[in-house]
Structure 1
Amino acid sequence: MKQKIRKELIEWIVLITVVGVIYLGGWHTEVLGRMQQVVLSTGLIKPTLLAEERKASYNFWLEDLKGNRIEFTEFSNEVVFMNFWATWCPPCVAEMPDIYDLYQKQKDQVSFVMISLDQDEAKARRFIDRKGFEFPVYFLRSSLPTTYDTHSIPTTYVLSKGGTIKVENHGMAKYNTDSFNKLLTDLFESQ
């Protein structure tokens, strides 16, 4: 009986130590993100197409990773995939590789606007560099129009060339699917 209790106590100590090292090492977001990537790989979590479309707003500005000011109106005649994310958000980290794969397929037709909400912008830059993501990353430099509800992240919008919000998704989703690629291509080819 004492040996069983001792073995169980050692198992708990090892478990708590591993969890503590992961947390104190700052790897918890990455670990949770990896676990959520497994869920995304099933394809069960899909983006939400809006039943009732509404007008997009272009009345705000951004700054790119090089410090250039970008008026969002520059994207007004383009199909836009706009994603709000942060490095401290495990679902954001989980969906990022899938979004990058989508970017690789759609970058000639769709403008990707990946907006980091990190307070520590250097951390966002390091994350993007470390992961090797080449899609455009921006920081918000003005207030966001009320059209966009980003009270939870990740939040993703797809805007048509005509300035209509076609997709609004709160939470992570698998975007790099045949049906979503077709939606983006159809939006690009229309109007």
Structure 2
Amino acid sequence: MRFKKPKISDVIFLVLVATLIIPQTRKPIQVFVNRGLSLISPSKVSDEKQENITSYTWKLKDVHGDVFSFEDAKGQVVLVNFWATWCPPCIAEMPSLQKLYNDYHDKVKFVFVSDEWFKDITPFLEKNKYTFKVYRSVSNYNNIFNVTGIPRTFLIDKTGKIVIDKTGAANWNSESVRNTLDELIKQ
């Protein structure tokens, strides 16, 4: 029996499939692809479709065990980001969120939320030199946010209206997001 010499395209295809099957190479490739997708800025929800947060009854806990009540964010501009360390789109958008946090953390309340344990979160933050605080939910947030996938980010104005509601990776350090934040801070 004679075998046909493989084409270069067949070899490339097999190498690509193999790299996507191996966990150590799959995640970096997915992050790389999502970084490209996250170059797009999130858009504002049209005024007539903006929903109001009706409840602020939500408790969160930080790595030190300190409890944060979402009620304390009432009346402020708030960015809430649901994410995980294992999530390639989350990882892809984190650098833009860190840059935004660097410039706005004293004017905007940033609430980064993960369901993971801090033993997994802390090394990820340290490795990537992220300085924002991360919380784990202590109480149910489904009465406030309907999160069915991550990353999911909400930008909320001082009156409790959801101005941006974005599922998937995005460029949070864009000029349009910064203009929106500046506008919301002035109100």
The match for 2:168 is 171
What amino acid is the match of 2:78? V
Q: 1:49 aligns with which of 34, 45, 48?
A: 45
For residues 149-172 of structure 1, give each alpha carbon's deviation from its aligned partner in whole angstroms, at most 9, with x where no partner exists. 101111111111222222211222
Q: 1:113 aligns with which of 111, 117, 126?
A: 111
Query: Structure 1's 48 and 162: CA in aligned 2 closer, same or farther, altered over 3 A?
Result: closer
The match for 1:183 is 180
Q: 2:27 aligns with which of 29, 32, 47?
A: 29
What amino acid is the match of 1:61? K
Q: Give the alignment's TM-score, normalised by structure 2.
A: 0.85
For residues 135-160 of structure 1, give each alpha carbon's deviation from its aligned partner in whole angstroms, at most 9, with x where no partner exists. 12111111114231101111111111
Write out aligned runs for 1:22-101 (5 A): 23=23, 25=24, 28-41=26-39, 43=40, 45-51=41-47, 52-56=49-53, 57-101=55-99
The match for 1:122 is 119
CA distance in 1, matches of 2:30, 2:77: 31
Query: Structure 1's 165 and 46: CA in aligned 2 closer, same or farther, altered over 3 A?
Result: closer
Report SS of the residue matched to 2:183. Answer: helix
CA distance in 2, matches of 1:49, 1:131: 31
CA distance in 1, matches of 2:12, 2:171: 36
What amino acid is the match of 2:156? L
Shift of 1:49: 2.1
Contact 1:48 1:167 in 2 (8 A): yes
Contact 1:47 1:175 in 2 (8 A): no
Report SS of the residue matched to 2:93. Answer: helix
Contact 2:37 2:170 in 1 (8 A): no
Q: 2:101 aligns with which of 100, 103, 115?
A: 103
Q: Give the alignment's TM-score, normalised by structure 1.
A: 0.83
Contact 2:42 2:164 in 1 (8 A): no
Identity within the alignment, %: 27
Shift of 1:122: 1.6
Query: Structure 1's 11 and 131: CA in aligned 2 closer, same or farther, altered over 3 A?
Result: same
Q: 1:133 aligns with which of 130, 145, 163?
A: 130
What amino acid is the match of 2:90? C
Higher strand share: 1
The match for 1:148 is 145
CA distance in 2, matches of 1:103, 1:80: 11
Shift of 1:29: 2.8
Contact 2:73 2:109 in 1 (8 A): yes
- Number of residue-to-residue matches in the alignment: 184
| Structure 2 unaligned residues grouped into runs of 5+ | none
What amino acid is the match of 1:110? V
